[in-house]
Structure 1
Amino acid sequence: MGLFKDYRGDDFRFSVWKMEENIDELLTLLPDNECYAQRLSQFSSLHRQLEWLSVRVLLYTMVGGHKEIIYEQSGKPFLKDGSYHISISHTRGYVTLILSALHPVGIDIEQYSERVSKVSSRFVRSDEVVTLYKGVDTWSLLLLWSAKEVMFKCMSRVEVDFKKHLKVFPFQIAEEGILEAQEYHTADHRLFSIHYLVQTDFVLTWCVDKL
């Protein structure tokens, strides 16, 4: 399948890659594929190898050339040449990536799963509203979690409690929209506008943090 979705804004771009290729097929999509093949040995599982390669293929597809991704100690990714702000996410069957030359960015993708309800007490505040969509509350819970993941990525801070420090204001779910949110981890109590898409088997959220 390869490129599943590609969106270009004024100062950012995000893409979603559907993971249906095997290792050899992904390697053929990259330059100097022998170098990439050698680096796969750092991952013990085939799933992690496929995720890692799919992200590199997606980045290569988006920018039209090789860019090396490196990571801060916190795990936050950035490009070695500093050409773009970057955020990466993956879920079963998909990887996604957002780029902006101007602003910090955050993106998250979450596969549909009712298991989110079992852990909702860890991240849903008493003043947040969980609504029904398609007859269930799962979509609302996934969006709450995913939006907070994006906020966390944009904040670039440690020891953030998703329930105590991050709040998503009440919303009604549609196939796409914007979630308004606020953080209480810093003295600034910054506001965030987080875009979202609801697909058949996943939710996607992203933010371009123009501060």
Structure 2
Amino acid sequence: MPLYKTITTPENSKVLIWKIEESYSELQEGIELTSNCKARVASMKSEIHQRGFLSVRQLLKAAGYKASDLYYNSSGKPHLKDGKEISITHSFIFSAIIISDKIIGIDIEKQRDKIGIIAHKFVDYEFGFLNREDIKRLTVVWCVKESLYKAFATDGMSFKQHTKVIPFNLNEAQTVGWIFYHGQIERYKIKFLEFEGFTCAYAIKS
């Protein structure tokens, strides 16, 4: 199918979300993979991951880029050759990218009960306004922290120790995220949305 959703933010950042319904061969149509991309796809044992990978290249095409315009640094953070910032995510049947002049991060996660079981691994401050049964808001917190992690892209950063998500209501669809890392303090505007049992959040550095 075509794009599932496109969002343009006031900061001139663009979010593109794809629902992965096509076959592997259909997702190959209209995109030219680099030799590195072909090798990466071939090394993936799961077709779900292969289709997720190809759907991201379809999103790049929808944003006006070629697969060859994307590269990764030594830490694994994606970059675009024109200097714009990019962040990438995929989860099961959805993938998404965000492109911006600002520092950004994005994450999609399926809403599942098991997040309550692992909440203690990534939640600290946030237990002041939610609990382990609050699956939807816990999923938002996870997505926000993953987005902050992708934006900051620093080895040794901990979701639990170095990030905080300000209290929010689901119907507000926005909050603020903070990074406190060895004397560095960064503030990020957060937007989030829910669709078909999934949560997506993206962080834009203030």
Same fold (TM over 0.5): yes
| Structure 1 counterpart of 2:151, from 145, 148, 154 | 154
Deviation at 1:178, TM superposition (A): 1.4
User: Which amino acid letter does the alignment assign opposite residue 89 of structure 2?
Assistant: S
**Which residue in 1 is equivalent to 2:23?**
22
Higher helix proportion, which one?
2
d(CA) in 1 for partners of 2:142, 2:47: 27
Q: Which residue of 2 aligns with 1:194?
A: 190
**Unmatched tracts of structure 2, length 5 or more:** none
Q: Which moved more, 1:186-195 or 1:148-157?
A: 186-195
Equivalent position of 2:95 in the other structure: 95
1:183/1:190 contact within 8 Å kept: yes
Provide closer, same or farther for how the CA distance between residues 209 and 159 of structure 1 changes in structure 2, counting only shifts above 3 A: same
Please give the alpha-carbon distance, in whole angstroms, between the structure 2 residues aligned to 1:194 and 1:21. Answer: 30
Cα-to-partner distance string for 1:124-167 (whole Å, 9 max, x where unaligned): 114544448xxx51001101111111111111211111111111
TM-score norm. by structure 2 comes to 0.88
Judge conservation of contact 1:128–1:168 (CA < 8 Å) in 2: no
Would you say the 8 A contact 2:33–2:68 is kept in 1?
no
Confirm or deny that 1:164 pairs with 2:161: yes
Question: CA contact under 8 A between 1:178 and 1:195: conserved in structure 2?
Answer: yes
Distance of 2:191 and 2:170 partners within structure 1: 12
- AA paired with 1:120? A
Q: Which residue of 2 aligns with 1:3?
A: 3
Measured at CA, do residues 118 and 57 of structure 1 come closer, stay the same or move farther in structure 2, by a change above 3 Å?
same
Q: Which position in structure 2 is the counterpart of 1:50?
A: 51
The amino acid of 2:145's aligned partner reads: K
Q: Deviations over 1:168-206 (max 9, x none)?
A: 1222221x5211122221313222221111223111111
Rounded to whole Å, the distance in 2 between the matches of 1:7 and 1:77 is 20
Distance 2:178 2:46 in 1: 37
Q: Structure 2 vs 1, CA of residues 131 and 43 (structure 1 numbering), >3 Å: closer, same or farther?
A: same
Asked if the contact 1:60–1:67 (Cα under 8 Å) also holds between the matched residues in 2, the reply is: no
Unmatched 5+ stretches in structure 1: none
SS at match of 1:110: strand
Deviation at 1:65? 4.6
Contact 2:34 2:67 in 1 (8 A): no
How has the CA–CA distance of structure 1 residues 36 and 126 changed in structure 2, closer, same or farther, with 3 Å as cutoff? closer
Contact 1:6 1:16 in 2 (8 A): yes
Q: Report the number of matched residues.
A: 203
Return closer, same or farther for 1:103/1:113 CA change in 2, 3 Å cut-off: same
TM score, norm. by length of structure 1: 0.86
Q: Post-superposition shift, 1:2?
A: 3.3
